[in-house]
Chain A
């Protein structure tokens, strides 16, 4: 187990290193921050001074080493737009984004998994077809389209909910539902196929042959096995949620990390973008580690593999 943790930590550090480097290269290659941030009429000396102040005049590799050194010491630099530390700028947006993503994830799980299991148990019935039809629509429609449709329906035509902004719980409803439904659709399809796969296993028939009532076969024998496969997809869902939140926050002008990322990229606010990427990478790594640990809880074969014995 100790070895497992060390390996995971090393891999996490490597991943973060790659993300940091990638962010550095892409942002520098994508254009000059001085030009993006300053107005075109700014005198050349002022632009030069801006570059010097932010260390953009040094050769790229020097900038890279400086940046790595700073990141290594927990210094993620300052926002070029308002001079505050990038960490502060990003950190103050995190709770808002969590306010969207956490309920959306719960919505994913609460709708997606039961719908998938139900469809699997009623395989080939009308209910199954209906659930799967809705699921196909759910994951083929992009979240920004779904968001705009919701705005049209529930904010414009039926003025029940605000079309954007933040403040009250009503502001949360549309973005959370938009973010949650796509994921629920994916999860429903995946849960269904995971469940069908398990229901076809010989040990399910063996449990029935042993006299276990069908309801207990489903809950006691099928679900614990299907959960292992579903867990994998939940890991991906967290990644999708983070990607989705960028779009959904923009559509609903929600003041979270996603809209901050859009603004910062547009204005080449290097430090903030890098900081967001780090936060996202860290979130993904944490999720993956959590999921790996959960595998161990759900699957005894995995436990044996990790402790190195059979």
Chain B
């Protein structure tokens, strides 16, 4: 299928300090894409840049095409239509994503009027339907509630309803469950999955939680230091990761069903964006580091033909046979 959204060579720098160092990704209609990595690795910035939601201090270059139309540096009036109308984004802390002085209903209605040109009456009815759809009990009464009267889980449901109001083609969920209790997390994820099934929109799930991503997404992008270091189908994530960083993430993951065993943290920390190492950004922490790593221009290379598994590692490019099993 043709790409719905295509990002090419996207770079972002704040005050001359690069945070995004050339991102290429495509998103197909209706697919679910996971983006994982540590905080500050560029997962969220990619989308904030694409939607023009970064401050003016950010220097953005590259290209973001939505159905062929360039979004970067598009006029504000056009971006206002895209935001919420074609690409909706929900954020980590639902409680603070809702404006405390407006009722839940009015915040949903605002989106309905902007993107679907509804009059107040129709919008009110549609807002009620949306709250029903995201599983808020007693939706009619809840329309008049203020955000502080909702629990965290309910707030996130309202935020999702607000995102659905514009009938977007793409929903970006930026750590949608991080601020929530574990029991609520599962409900919200189930809701996202169900909504994606019902509406057929593409879902981008940004998370640092590999488990969550693997449950929801068909394809995963692993971010490190403003680069995509690996792209792979979810079913290969746990048994055939190619990049040492992805393997490190998996080794650092506690397992519930296996006997209790040592976790292996990745040594060191993400380098500061201002004094970034040359070559592979992960090299200083990598256990497979060789001399060339710090001279190499990082680039994604394909593994195993066309199943869409690519990794940016010198070892991958030099060793044609791949598909190693992670050492447990």
Contacts and interface: CB of A to CB of B under 8 A. Distances in A.
A178 B82 CA distance: 50
A206 B98 contact: yes
Interface stretch (B88-96, B282-290, B292-300): B88-96
Contacts, number: 81
Contact of A202 (B83, B84, B97, B101): B97
B83 A211 contact: yes
* Chain B binding surface SS class: helix
Contacts of B88: 209-210
Interface in A262-307: 298-301, 304
A298 B102 CA distance: 10
A301 B81 contact: no
A225 B99 CA distance: 8
Interface stretch (B33-41, B109-117, B267-275, B312-320): B109-117
A207 interface: yes
A205 B92 CA distance: 12
A201 B97 CA distance: 8
Interface string B136-154: 0000000000101100000
A51 interface: no
B241 interface: no
Interface in A199-241: 201-203, 205-214, 220-221, 224-225, 228
Given A211-B115, A299-B101, A304-B148, A201 B110 contact: no
A73 interface: no
Contacts of A224: 101-102
B99 A211 contact: no
A310 interface: yes
Contacts of B80: 211-213
Contact of B148 (A205, A214, A301): A301
A210 B100 contact: no
Contact of B101 (A211, A212, A298): A298
Given A300-B148, A304-B149, A210 B91 contact: no
Given A202-B97, A301-B100, A211 B114 contact: yes
A229 to B, nearest CB: 12
Contacts of A203: 96-100
A277 to B, nearest CB: 38
Contacts of B76: 213-214
Interface size class of B (residues with CB under 8 A): 35 or more
Contacts of A209: 51, 53, 83-84, 88-89, 91
Nearest to A208: B53
Given A211-B111, A211-B114, A300-B148, A206 B97 contact: yes
A210 B146 contact: no
Interface residues of A, number: 24
Interface string A178-215: 00000000000000000000000111011111111110
Contacts of A304: 146, 148-149
Contacts of A206: 90-91, 97-99, 159
Given A209-B84, A209-B88, A300 B51 contact: no
A90 to B, nearest CB: 41
A228 B149 CA distance: 19
Contacts of B97: 202-203, 206
B166 interface: yes
A299 B146 CA distance: 10
Contact of A201 (B96, B103, B146, B162): B96
Given A209-B83, A299-B101, A202 B96 contact: yes
B202 to A, nearest CB: 16
A300 B91 contact: no
A211 B108 CA distance: 12
Interface string B165-178: 11000000000000
Contact of A211 (B90, B98, B159, B166): B166
Contact of B84 (A201, A211, A214): A211
Given A202-B91, A209-B53, A300-B148, A221 B85 contact: no
Given A202-B96, A300-B146, 15 more contacts: A208-B53, A209-B51, A209-B89, A210-B110, A210-B114, A210-B165, A211-B111, A212-B110, A213-B76, A213-B77, A214-B76, A228-B101, A300-B101, A300-B103, A304-B146
Interface of B: 51, 53, 76-77, 80-85, 88-91, 93, 96-103, 110-111, 114-115, 146, 148-149, 159, 162-163, 165-166
- 10 nearest A-B residue pairs (beta carbon): A211-B84, A206-B97, A300-B146, A211-B83, A202-B96, A210-B84, A209-B89, A203-B99, A224-B101, A211-B80
11 contacts: A203-B96, A205-B53, A209-B53, A209-B89, A210-B110, A210-B111, A210-B114, A210-B163, A212-B84, A300-B103, A310-B149
